[in-house]
Structure 1
């Protein structure tokens, strides 16, 4: 169906061989007729520029929907490839032997999912380029192919193309490996029988690099977030020159759901890092090759505890633990900030808390003042008695202590009221500034109105002067005629 912004025209006379359908549109030999639909209100003329803008908005909406759909499919294909890789690494050679039909089939599925992922990535960037052309009103697609865009697409395709192929590209492919009985409970990595450690290192590297496909998660979150889908967000953001990137969406999520976001990220990171550590360590047949021990090592490294009961043995495992420690320091700082923000009192709570503290300190000050008076009276009574010097000194010490407590409470109340007044002064200052700005605006408007009224009065005075001069000239002219 072809849509147009032009007004529908009455059907023109049709030549021979053309038949009019029920809508008055021409069709030839039963072929579908070209339908013209008006995008504007009937009776309203639409300029060609407005019609092209309508087309652009419609195409932009469809392209955004296609981008969201392609991003979701690409993320699904990436997750499928990662899950197949993990399942293949766990099942081989515990369930089936390397080089068997099952191993080759799963490797083929991993390669097939990788190919689908690359096609979806290319389609996504094709839609992105078309969206760029529509937004910038360009015609040639080569204008959108900047150096940064080409490098980004190439790097993305390279990252998505990485998957373990050494298991069926290495030497002795298809050779059945006898079942090995290990002393430990860990399972060796699935790799066709080879006497070279190069293939094993390549298998480990490619399997770990497959987790780089998870960068598609941030793109999916950005395209499916309510921030980007909301027209109000986009309008206000465009007025304030805000770019809706993943950083902005992450800040919004951390402000709305800080604990939930951090918890999900930490749990997913622990599981991924523990499995990668197990993949690196199980080739050496050590204790950290077990999933439980690897998860324990990742947890104590992430939390920067480091009991020292277990430690990585391979270079790959040490790199994973080092990266885990760095991420643990950053996440721990963010967690402390979130907990501090949650435990902090808001403005209303602070007001109530300080008000009750002020009342309590006032009561304590009254009690301290009463103690000072009581000790003064007791000291005066012992001074009048002049019998017991020990009791006299005791009441002197009690009087000095009561005076010290009274001064301390007065100082504490003064500090509390100063802090409370600072909080109130900030809000008052803001209100005063708002009132001043409102008064200035009102006075400016009044001044403008007065200036306009003065201009009108000056115009009226000028007109009255002109009319007066005309009347005087007419009167003088008549008087001259009368004298003659």
Structure 2
């Protein structure tokens, strides 16, 4: 009921958004028609554009861009298919559907493998090969295989709608380019990949359907002519109900190849990883041109959880390879057909020890052991790298360790220098005593040894300091350089502000000087005018007498002097 309600709400939301998008598209189309009518009215002499036989628009000499639509010409793009927000919403829904389909497909694949293992373990002991139980389990295996094929096809249908031409989640082709015809994305490589995947998922044992009612073949132990004994440690192989030996090999091969379905694990890990679900990861990765593939996710897991990832893979591979070896060796009824012996053989082969106490007898078992050895070498190398990384010192521990080593070497270097001085003094004292030749040679040897130790310690300290200087973190150096650059920029801005303020003050000072000079010139001009006016009044008196003549001459002289002073002051202020 909750799922139905959720689906109804989702449909209503999609319908509302489609209605809004349709209104927006109708408005845009009306605006486009209005613009076309305006253009035609502004150019009445221009001919209407026509279409040629290829469907292209002839612009009649107009240098406009020609757009070729890759979608079907007779199918109209819905409003949901247009607009970036709707495409992003569709992309999110498609990714959720792909994640769900991948999880269901992996569950169907694991269910088929478990049913195959259950049938192989119970068939010769609990029920005969021609019983209804064997037919039922094989039927369930076939049903799970059919469901797996349907889920794989549905997954690739969603995959074509999201990223058909590039690796997984690398580019939205149909959504980004508004494509409706899915056949455009079906390239040759994609068709071959889908076909190979369907072929791998369709593999399962079918011997029960081909020859029902037949008895299982009697197995003989190598080197003897006796049939299989029920009390043996290794149970007989029950993968085929036909007495033909060829069907036995075919059933064995089909059962082993069912483990190829586990390729879906890497797809499920990729689709359910936090790297792909995080929007920050996707945005930063798109800026740096990084494809979020399974390789990138595996690197992230090995960096965050190295021991846990390796342990899970090694344990799963150990049990799977041991059971496949047991399945291969059970047809000859040898000691390696037992599960415990198979686990031991896989372990010593995985660790590249190879005691030689047990070995595979069949070709299938030898192939399994060979593949186990190769995977063991690879896993051992990764395990050594992980352990080395865990045992290595971090930056803080390295700094503390090298600092204490530098202090210790400094102390030893001072002691070595003191030993050199002591041996020099003892050699000098032995040289003064001429009758002590043996002691002289002894102190000379001690002096040479002390010098050698001193030089060795000094070279060791120099190498340690060089290595410590090389350990400076690049991020720390970058931070220091950024701080220096910011300090220089702030100092430059402060100096620039000071220079601007000084220029403003100089301009204000010049203006004040100019105003002061104008005031002084005005004051002097007024005083000189006043003196000149008083001299003229003295020269134009009413009664003339000798005294008045003398006064007149004096006033005239003062008037002339005042005029000369006025002329000189005017010239001075003019120059100023």
TM-score by length of 2: 0.66
Distance (Å, rounded) in 2 between the aligned partners of 1:50 and 1:311? 62
Aligned twin of 2:326: 278
1:326-337 equivalences under 5 Å are 326-337=374-385
Report the counterpart of residue 157 of structure 1 in structure 2.
198
Is the contact made by 1:129 and 1:141 (CA closer than 8 Å) also made in structure 2?
A: yes
CA drift at 1:249: 0.8
Most deviating of 431-440 and 155-164: 431-440
Q: Which residue of 1 aligns with 2:160?
A: 129
In the alignment, which residue of structure 2 is the partner of 1:32? none
Shift of 1:49: 9.2
Alpha-carbon deviation of 1:233?
Answer: 0.6
1:83 aligns with 2:109: no
CA contact (8 A) 2:108 2:148 kept: yes
Distance in structure 2 (CA, Å) of the matches to 1:321 and 1:220: 28
1:241 equivalent in structure 2: 289
After superposing the two structures, state which structure 1 stretch, 404-413 or 176-185, moved more.
Answer: 176-185
Give, in whole Å, the separation in 1 of the partners of 2:139 and 2:474.
Answer: 67
- CA distance in 2 between counterparts of 1:422 and 1:158 reads 56
Whole-angstrom CA distance in 2 between matches of 1:292 and 1:191: 21
Change (3 A) 1:429 1:131: closer
User: What's 1:174 paired with?
Assistant: 213
1:42-57 map, 5 Å: 52-57=83-88
* Alpha carbons of structure 1 residues 8 and 111: separation in structure 2 relative to 1, 3 Å: closer
Aligned residue number for residue 460 of structure 2: 412
Is the 1:278–1:291 Cα contact (8 Å) retained in structure 2? yes
- Contact 1:89/1:189 (8 A) holds in 2: yes
CA deviations over 1:355-387 (Å, ceiling 9, x no partner):
111111001111111222222222333333444
| Structure 2 alignment gaps of length 5 or more | 1-11, 23-78, 164-173, 219-227, 495-576
Matched, 1:394 2:442: yes
- Equivalent residues of 2:161, 2:182 under 8 A apart: yes
1:176/1:358 Cα in 2 relative to 1: closer, same or farther (>3 Å)? Answer: same
What are the ranges of 5 or more consecutive residues in structure 1 without an aligned counterpart? Answer: 10-47, 447-484
Change in 2 beyond 3 A, CA 1:274/1:437: farther
Distance 1:338 1:177, change over 3 A: closer
- Structure 1 442/275 Cα, relative in aligned 2: closer, same or farther at 3 Å? farther
- Range 322-331 or range 423-432, more displaced: 423-432
Deviation, structure 1 residue 62: 1.6
Contact 2:81 2:178 in 1 (8 A): no
Indicate conservation of the 8 Å contact 1:273/1:298, yes or no: yes
Structure 2 counterparts to residues 167-206 of structure 1, below 5 A: 167-169=208-210, 171=211, 173-176=212-215, 181-182=229-230, 184-206=232-254
Q: Distance in 2 between matches of 1:230 and 1:345?
A: 32
Task: Give the superposition deviation at 1:150.
Answer: 1.2
* Matched residue, 2:371: 323
Look up the match of 2:259: 211
203 and 253 in structure 1: CA distance in 2 versus 1, 3 angstrom threshold: same
Give the RMSD, CA atoms, in angstroms.
2.9
Residue 311 of structure 1, CA deviation:
0.9
- Out of 348, 355, 373, the residue aligned to residue 307 of structure 1 is 355
Matches for 1:322-471 after TM superposition, within 5 Å: 322-424=370-472, 430=478, 434=482
- Residue 407 of structure 1 and its aligned partner are, at CA, apart by 0.9
- Counterpart of 1:251 in structure 2 is 299
CA distance in 2, matches of 1:104, 1:296: 34
Q: Deviations over 1:255-290 (max 9, x none)?
A: 111111111111111111111011001111111111
Distance apart, 1:443 and its partner CA: 12
Cα distance in structure 2, aligned partners of 1:232 and 1:282: 53
Decide which moves more: 273-282 or 143-152: 143-152
Q: Do the aligned partners of 2:235 and 2:330 also contact (CA within 8 Å) in 1? A: yes
Q: For the Cα contact (< 8 Å) 1:99–1:192, is it kept in 2?
A: no
How many residue pairs get aligned? The number is 407
The alpha-carbon deviation at position 168 of structure 1 amounts to: 3.5
CA contact (8 A) 2:215 2:243 kept: no
Q: Which of 75, 91, 96 is the equivalent residue of 1:65?
A: 96
Shift of 1:167: 3.6
Aligned equivalents of 1:437, 1:140: Cα separation in 2: 56
| 1:399-432 Cα shifts (integer Å, max 9, x gaps) | 2211111111011011111112223396676457
Deviation at 1:253, TM superposition (A): 0.8
1:7 and 1:319 map into 2 onto residues whose CA distance is: 63
Whether the 8 Å contact between 1:303 and 1:328 is mirrored in structure 2 is yes
Q: Does the CA contact (< 8 Å) of 2:205 and 2:239 recur in 1? A: no
Once the two structures are TM-superposed, the CA of residue 442 in structure 1 deviates from its matched residue by 9.4
Pairwise CA distance, 1:192:
4.3
Q: Counterpart in 2 of 1:143?
A: 184
Contact 1:100–1:176 (Cα < 8 Å) also in 2: no
Residues 6-21 of structure 1 correspond to what in structure 2 (within 5 A)? none
> Deviation per CA, 1:17-72, whole angstroms, max 9, x where unpaired?
xxxxxxxxxxxxxxxxxxxxxxxxxxxxxxx7997333322222221111111111
1:122 CA drift (Å):
1.2
Pair 1:168–1:442, CA change in 2 (3 A): farther
Q: Tell me, in whole angstroms, the C-alpha distance in 2 between the residues paired with 1:443 and 1:382.
A: 66
**Counterpart Cα distance in 2 of 1:161 and 1:425:** 55
Q: CA deviation at 1:149?
A: 1.4
Query: C-alpha displacement at 1:77, in angstroms?
Result: 0.6
* CA pair 285-6 structure 1, distance change in 2 beyond 3 A: closer
